[in-house]
Chain A
Amino acid sequence: MSEVKLFRTWSSPYALRIVWALELKGIDYETIFEDLSNKSQLLLQYNPVHKKVPVLVHNGKVISESLVIIEYIEDTWKDTPLLPEDPYERATARFWAKFNDDKLLPSIWQVFVTQGKEQEEAIPVATENLSFIEEDLKGKKFFGGQTIGLVDITIGWMANLISVFIEITGINLIDADKFPLLFGWMQNFSDVPVIKESWPPHDKLVIKFRAIRESYLSADVPK
């Protein structure tokens, strides 16, 4: 009987990826919620380098960094693969997952935490990144094809948080006319039962992210 523990917060999109990966593969696990303003001794011991969530502990083996964790889960539990078999398709999936973390997510975040001229300049950067990812959806229901995979769960934060960002800033980056495929994907992705069941509560997210945006706008917070 294997023992799997996931250290996470209720709202972290990086941790949510791991929830999705575990749930999709039907893996039993225990959740330990962290308060990042008051990190537990165990978290600091398990992730001394980054001191962040998510952290996965499998039979005492500690793994951190969300994309590393997902690859570990994929290597260890072979049911419901999250990566295709073909090496070129795998490379493409890994490329887009990295693109999300390195470029797409930060560029959308930049729109969210700024205003005025700074925000105006951030929007075309985010839009260009969205257009790249829109291309990859051509002819597919999900980034993973007929079923969700690594790229879907990596970018999946968008399907949840975009509506929160719209509510707070009034800016809709994923317009149905401009990005019809992404718009459709967000709906399809949200409808997958495992995903639907684990969305953090919308109202709670609005409160939290509104406070984050305000703290960025009112102070010189390093981005």
Chain B
Amino acid sequence: MANKEVRVLGAWPSPFVMRARIALNIKKLDYEFLQEQLGSKSELLLKSNPVHKKIPVLIHGDKPICESLVIVQYVDEVWSSGPSILPSDPYDRAIARFWAAYIDDKWFPSLSGIPRAQGEEAKMAAIQQVRDGLELLEDAFVKCSKGKPFFGGDSIGYLDIAFGCFLGWLRVTEKSNGVKLLDETKTPNLAKWAVRFCSDVAVKDVMPDTDKLAEFAKVLFAKFRAPPPSN
């Protein structure tokens, strides 16, 4: 039976919602997953996140916490006896936070830019931007992982979550545009990491199936003519 003490307001296709769920899974916490319907916002969502009116929202007892990366840090700090999500060294933490901010501020918008691009030239430019970003993240992976399987080291951490949540949408974008973005030849470490991330026990049940996500994308784009909202 789901624990009513911890609730997540979200939706299965949202990468931002996935971040919150992965964090809770890492800490082996039970939670109730309340799914919002596409195109409408529940009373609970509007009450819990009046500023942004967006998912995810973590409701712990009666306290709402909003913004996906704020939620991840909150989960890490409250359930501190579980496996750590953020590194313990201040500089490693700063590096993880820096790249997570880069992913949200620059890289994910560039990925969303591909379906929005008008015309072949703009599309190629958008694709290149995403690829350039992935090369930066490949370097970041080498530096952060220090030879270990994940950005966070031996197990998945903050930056793995911040980036890995987009792998489903990355694959959908590759399929619908007939391009390879995460290229084993150009970003070999990331390509291998992606497989490990998706099969991790904290991730595999919340990472959506690519075909199911592609179907959803068609509905979403038809309804709104835009990629999913960012948070």
Contact = CB atoms under 8 A, between A and B. Distances in A.
A91 B65 contact: yes
Interface in A106-134: 132
A98 B66 CA distance: 11
Interface string B76-101: 01100000000000110110011001
Given A72-B90, A87-B77, A63 B98 contact: yes
Interface in A80-105: 87-88, 90-91, 94-95, 98-99
A119 B101 CA distance: 29
B101 A71 contact: no
A68 interface: yes
Nearest to B89: A75
Interface string B49-79: 0110000000010010111001101100110
Contacts of B67: 94-95, 98
B70 A63 contact: no
Given A65-B98, A71-B93, 18 more contacts: A58-B91, A63-B91, A63-B94, A67-B101, A71-B94, A72-B90, A72-B91, A75-B90, A75-B94, A76-B90, A87-B74, A87-B78, A91-B65, A91-B73, A95-B65, A95-B70, A98-B67, A132-B51
Interface of B: 50-51, 60, 63, 65-67, 70-71, 73-74, 77-78, 90-91, 93-94, 97-98, 101-102, 136
Interface of A: 49, 58, 61, 63-65, 67-69, 71-72, 75-76, 87-88, 90-91, 94-95, 98-99, 132
